Amino acid sequence: MDPSSSQVAITDGTKRSSNLDLEKGPVEPSSDLEATTADEAEATAADEKRQVDNHDKDPDIVSWDGANDPENPMNWTNRKKWFNIAVISILTVLTPLGSSMFAPGIRRILAEFHETSPTVATFILSVYILGFAFGPLIIAPMSEIYGRSPLYNIGNVLFTVFSICTALSNSIGMMMAFRFLMGVAGSVPITIGSGSIADIMPVEMRGRAMAAWALGPLLGPCIGPVAGGYLIRAAGWRWVYWLIAILAGIVSVFTFFTLKESYAPVILERKAARLRKETGNQALRSELADLSGHAVEKIKVAIVRPLRLLFLTPIVTLMSFYVAITYGILYLLFSTFSLVYPQYYGFGEGESGLVFIPTAIGMMFGISIFGALSDKSVKAKLDSGEQHRPEIRLLPWLTLPAGLTIPVGLFLYGWTIQYRVHWIVPMLGSLIFAFGLMGVMMCIQNYLLDLYPRQAASVTAATAVLRSLAGALLPLCALEMYEALDMGWGNSLLGFISLGLAPIPLLFYTFGARIVKRSQPKD
């Protein structure tokens, strides 16, 4: 750059600064928050300057080629970003289909394998969700070591293989074993999808991206039984898994060629490896490289990270507990759909699948509305000149209505079934419940993602462990609970529990910043 032009730019900047000072006077922080924001901005600038200085001093550090390097996922075009998110969203719709698509045919499966236990009938549905609980503990840390793309591709292939094995099952035990493995493999996009979003999306656009991604794991279990009921009646339950295997095989080939790696440390490490090969300089290393130890040690640390976040970080612990209870209630309701509507309203296999549609509608409205409102709140704060705070995702006018809507839906669902009110009314109750559930989950997921963007996959895994365990185990208590309390008081009990949990987001909206400072994860 020409020295004279640099001097002109500096002089011009000085003049502008002087004029600004004369017109507006000295700028002073108007509150403690603004003072803190200014201090944080200075600290960030200092850190960036130190990174630049270190890079200048050490020519062996491999970094991005400037602030606008197209290889940096944050600099991808919007079209490329949304295409990646669309592909991941397709995966998150497909893999949860296996959890409940066969639900309308449970009675037929039990008859074929000569099984009469109602607990076994419920566990056939739940065992898949157990796979969702244990898979993330391995998948999340692996994605933070080897990248997102390889995990997606391996998971797709294994999911296809296990779907075929389930279709060929010749005993109830074999079927449940392969359904568990389907859940483990199918948990890949659900576990690391949020991490992929954090890799490429700025904070003011994450709410909408999370909404697109979250549609899959929550709509999949609702959409599946709709098609599954009629497919089972026409061709048998095995064709549910043959259909899933065919779809998964097609998607596996498609994602292998289209899904791009988005995890910055892995991209820079690949760049460093390429340069080491081209230049022969073996000292070259990534700016984001983890130099803490050998690969085995890194894997051990990474595997433990989700559990440390879950049990040693109060924010993750309580938020995960809230999500787990509400998610478990969702699957508990799912387990009643296939029994209640045939028994109380005389629905057949095909019609029993249709009862999931109101829940899907409630989820779609909840995801769309709360995702958009969340981003709008963040953008408004940024446009006003404030620094983004994750607590904005937990604004009371967002989280409190969502939390209160959940028990309202449960009360309506339970009591209208008990008194044999027309079937459209309990379906409306499940719609209201699903709407509130999505509001709670969207706010919490976006909040945790903003808190730990570099550890997004591990945080998602931490929440997925409790959430999936609750989704798998709570339905096992359903039959005994409803026998003791009936539908009215049974669902009222669940409503009162969810009502007691509703203030948790408000707690972290008020005190979250202080708690984060005292409980930051070590790695």
Q: Which residues pair with 285 in a beta bridge?
A: 61
Question: 291 Cβ partners below 8 Å, 6+ apart?
Answer: 285
Are 194 and 136 within 8 A, CB to CB? no
Angle at 33 between CA 29 and CA 34, to 5 degrees: 30
What pLDDT shows up at residue 21? Answer: 38
Residue that wins the pLDDT comparison between 122 and 280: 280
User: For residue range 155-179, what is the model confidence (pLDDT) as tens digits?
Assistant: 999 999 999 999 999 988 899 999 9
Give CA–CA dist 164/150, Å, rounded.
22
Report residue 24's pLDDT band, with 50, 70 and 90 as the boundaries. Answer: very low
For residue 385, pLDDT beyond 80: no
Report residue 519's pLDDT band, with 50, 70 and 90 as the boundaries. Answer: low
Q: Please report, in angstroms and rounded to a whole number, the separation of the first and last CA atoms in the chain.
A: 40
Residue that wins the pLDDT comparison between 74 and 522: 74
For residue 41, pLDDT beyond 60: no
Residue that wins the pLDDT comparison between 59 and 321: 321
Kindly state the helix (H) or strand (E) to which residue 252 belongs, with its residue range: helix 238-258
Average pLDDT over residues 466-495: 86
Q: Considering only CA atoms, which of 412, 402, 407 is closest in space to residue 436?
A: 402
Burial 500-523 (b: 16+ CB within 10 A, else e): ebbebbeebbeebeebbeeeeeee
Average pLDDT over residues 341-366: 82
User: Residue 69 CA to chain centroid, in angstroms?
Assistant: 28
What pLDDT shows up at residue 494? Answer: 93
For residue 56, pLDDT beyond 70: no
Residue that wins the pLDDT comparison between 225 and 19: 225
Residue that wins the pLDDT comparison between 120 and 166: 166
Coil, strand or helix at 198: helix
DSSP letter, residue 291? -
For residue 251, pLDDT beyond 60: yes
Q: Considering only CA atoms, which of 38, 508, 496, 445 is closest in space to residue 214?
A: 445
CA gyration radius, the chain: 25
Q: Can you read off the two tokens belonging to residue 456? A: 């997004």
**From residue 159, how far is each of 95, 153, 247, 321, 412 by CA, in Å?**
8, 10, 11, 28, 38
Give CA–CA dist 182/95, Å, rounded.
8
Write down the residue that tokens 């056939």 correspond to. Answer: 124
What pLDDT shows up at residue 404? Answer: 93
Q: What is the SS3 assignment for 423-450?
A: CHHHHHHHHHHHHHHHHHHHHHHHHHHH
Q: Can you read off the two tokens belonging to residue 397? A: 């006018």
Give CA–CA dist 505/303, Å, rounded.
28
Q: How many CB atoms sit inside 10 A of residue 402's CB?
A: 25
Average pLDDT over residues 19-25: 37
What pLDDT shows up at residue 228? Answer: 81
Coil, strand or helix at 349: helix
Average pLDDT, the chain: 80
What pLDDT shows up at residue 520? Answer: 64
Left (φ > 0), alpha (ψ -120 to 50) or beta: where does 422 sit? Answer: beta
Q: pTM higher than 0.85 for the full model?
A: no
Average pLDDT over residues 419-443: 91
Give the DSSP per-residue string, 35-54: HHHHHHHHHHHHHHHHHHHH
Are 390 and 496 within 8 A, CB to CB? no
Percent of the chain's residues with pLDDT above 70: 84
User: For residue range 306-315, what is the model confidence (pLDDT) as tens digits?
Assistant: 888 888 888 8
Residue that wins the pLDDT comparison between 520 and 270: 270
Residue that wins the pLDDT comparison between 208 and 88: 88
User: For residue range 433-450, what is the model confidence (pLDDT) as tens digits?
Assistant: 999 998 888 888 888 888
Report residue 40's pLDDT band, with 50, 70 and 90 as the boundaries. Answer: very low
Q: What is the SS3 assignment for 102-138?
A: CHHHHHHHHHHCCCCCHHHHHHHHHHHHHHHHHHHHH
Give CA–CA dist 239/232, Å, rounded.
7
**From residue 146, how far is each of 159, 266, 282, 304 by CA, in Å?**
20, 7, 20, 16
Average pLDDT over residues 2-25: 37
What pLDDT shows up at residue 290? Answer: 62
Q: Which of 214-218, 318-322, 336-340 has the lowest mean pLDDT?
A: 214-218
What pLDDT shows up at residue 254? Answer: 92
Give CA–CA dist 414/392, Å, rounded.
34
Residue that wins the pLDDT comparison between 468 and 522: 468
Give CA–CA dist 34/492, Å, rounded.
45
DSSP letter, residue 62? E
What pLDDT shows up at residue 43? Answer: 42
List the domains of the chain with CATH numbers: 75-260+294-518 (1.20.1250.20)
For residue 489, pLDDT beyond 90: yes
What pLDDT shows up at residue 294? Answer: 58
Q: 156: number of CA atoms within 13 Å, CB side?
A: 26
Average pLDDT over residues 409-434: 93
